Amino acid sequence: MHAVGRASKNEPVFINLKYHGNKDCDKWVSFVGKGVCFDSGGLNIKPTSGMKDMHLDKCGAVSVFTAFQYVVKEKLKINLTISMGFVENFLSSHSYRPSDIF
């Protein structure tokens, strides 16, 4: 997230939400979702045909959050934690290079 987001003026955001629906249980279910809100491809420029669906890179985070909303709304008797990372992948002198090692 840091490497992808460092080219954007908007810093990456990490969100963690918890729902404690079963106080009698110490087991937790965890979901993690990636949310790339915009993906220009960094310095590895993608062709236009590969860019048209880049808005779907946020589907992981959206799916995780939708599942969380359902669990809370239905008051399910589970303990759930979700983690979502949101980032924009833009071009700038701070963009990561495809050969970078992190």
**Whole-number Å distance between alpha carbons of 6 and 20:** 34
**Whole-number Å distance between alpha carbons of 66 and 94:** 33
Q: Is 28 helix (H, G, I), strand (E, B) or coil?
A: coil
Phi, psi of 74 (to 5 degrees): -85, -5
Q: What's the pLDDT band for 83 if we cut at 50, 70, 90?
A: very high
- Please give the residue that has the higher pLDDT: either 48 or 15: 15
pTM of the model: 0.77
Q: Is 72 helix (H, G, I), strand (E, B) or coil?
A: helix
- CA atoms within 13 A of residue 92's CA, in its CB half-sphere: 13
Residues 2-12: tens digit of each pLDDT = 788 888 888 99
